[in-house]
Amino acid sequence: MLATAMASIETWALRPGAPEIALCAKWRLEAFGDVLGDSLEDEIKRLEDFVADGAQQVALVASCDGIPAGTCLLAPQELTPCHPVSPWLAGLFVAPDYRRQGIGRALVRATEEQARQRGNKHIYLYSDDAVAYYEKLSWRIAEQTIWHGFPMALIARDLRA
């Protein structure tokens, strides 16, 4: 019988000047460049500004055995025009080599905890193709909507449950 070692997954909040900001900005452009639409330098600046204001928002990083493997944001607002609710889980990204190892789940749970620590009772996200993934993590569809002509689900998680 072969023994398998479990990967060590850790999450932490990015701070201004953190070396992982450039990597997270690169990941965000790879995954969401069609919405973000800026250069890497612009996204690095935007992420630096985002992490500088940690009262209602946070950028998280996950590592797997000490190597950065993914990122996610807790944001006070999301796509515009958007539903007038807050906060939002936004920009979940796991590097391809680290998918299906629990990184995404760890980032979602860490983002939920950040929202809970800030006194929120609910957290929201939009998804067009990952609804089933979030449903497995106890998120529920609150509404089906259209954003810029594309079908989108507003998904919510009750943080009191």
Measured distance CA(112)–CA(106) in Å, rounded: 10
123-160 tens-digit pLDDT: 999 998 899 999 999 999 999 988 888 899 999 999 99
Structural domain includes residue 58: yes
Q: What share of the chain is helix, strand, coil (3-state, %, to 5)?
A: 35, 30, 35
Neighbours of 157 (CB within 10 A): 23
Q: Identify the domain containing residue 38 by its residue range.
A: 9-158
Neighbours of 75 (CB within 10 A): 20
> Which of the four pLDDT bands, split at 50, 70 and 90, describes residue 1?
very low
Structural domain includes residue 34: yes
16-57 tens-digit pLDDT: 999 999 999 999 999 988 777 789 999 999 999 999 998 889
Structural domain includes residue 123: yes
**pTM (2 decimals)?**
0.91
- What's the per-residue H, E or C state across 81-144? CCCCCCCEEEEEEECHHHCCCCHHHHHHHHHHHHHHHCCCCEEEEEECCCHHHHHHCCCEEEEE
Residue 43 belongs to a domain with what CATH number? 3.40.630.30
Measured distance CA(114)–CA(78) in Å, rounded: 17
Provide the pLDDT for residue 4.
Answer: 43
Structural domain includes residue 3: no
- The interaxial angle of helices 40-52 and 20-36, nearest 10 deg, is 110
Structural domain includes residue 79: yes
Number of domains in the chain: 1
